[in-house]
C-alpha cells in the first residue's frame, strides 16, 4: 500500500455538514469519504492505494479535481484498489455532488 497526501489552499465552495461516502473498495474501484473539516479554507486529500508508483498520475487527477471544484474546509479520504484515473475522477465528482445536493 502507498499513502499519498495533497493539500490545496484557498478553496471557495463549502460543503454540507454531514459526511458522505461513495464507492466500494473492490478491484478496480475505490471509496471516497468526504467531510467538512476546519482547515482554514483548504482541501486536504489522503489516498491509500494498493497500486504503488502512480504518484504523478494521482497528482494530475487531484489538480484537475481542484480546478473543477475548489473545495474549502473539506477533508477527502480515499481507499483505492487500483482504479483508473477516470474512475477516480468519477468517484470524486460523485462524492462532491453528494455533498452539495442540499441548499447549494
Partner 1 sequence: MSASYLEATARERILAVLDAGSFKELLPPAQRVVSPHLGQLDAPVSFDDGVIIGEGLLDGQAVMAAAQEGGFMGGAVGEVHGAKLVGLLRRAVVKQAAGVILLLETGGVRLHEANAGLIAVSEVMRAVLETRAAGIPVIVLVGGANGCFGGMGIVARCANTVIMSEEGRLAMSGPEVIETANGVEEFDSRDRALVWRTTGGKHRYLIGDCQQLVSDDTAAFRAAAIAALAQVSAPQLTLAALEAEQEMLRRRIATFGLADDPMDIWAELGVPRPDSVPMLEADAFTAMAQAHRITSPA
Assess 35 for contact with partner 1 (CB under 8 A).
yes
Show the cell assigned to 2.
502507498
Query: How far is residue 74's CA from residue 88's CA, in Å, rounded to a whole number?
Result: 17
Contact range with partner 1 by CB under 8 A, out of 45-53, 56-64, 84-92, 96-104? 45-53
Instruction: Give the one residue of 7, 9, 10, 24 binding partner 1; rule: CB under 8 A.
Output: 24
Q: Which residues bind partner 1 (CB under 8 A)?
A: 1, 19, 21, 24-26, 29, 31, 33, 35, 48-50, 77, 79-81
Amino acid at each position: 500500500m502507498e499513502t499519498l497526501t495533497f493539500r490545496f489552499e484557498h478553496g471557495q465552495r463549502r460543503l454540507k455538514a454531514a459526511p458522505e461516502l461513495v464507492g466500494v473498495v473492490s478491484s478496480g474501484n475505490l471509496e471516497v469519504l468526504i467531510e467538512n473539516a476546519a482547515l482554514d479554507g483548504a482541501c486536504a486529500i489522503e489516498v491509500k492505494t494498493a497500486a504503488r508508483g502512480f504518484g504523478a498520475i494521482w497528482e494530475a487527477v487531484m489538480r484537475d479535481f481542484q480546478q473543477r471544484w475548489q473545495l474549502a474546509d473539506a477533508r477527502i479520504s480515499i481507499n483505492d484498489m487500483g482504479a483508473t484515473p477516470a474512475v477516480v475522477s468519477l468517484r470524486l465528482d460523485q462524492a462532491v455532488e453528494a455533498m452539495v445536493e442540499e441548499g447549494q
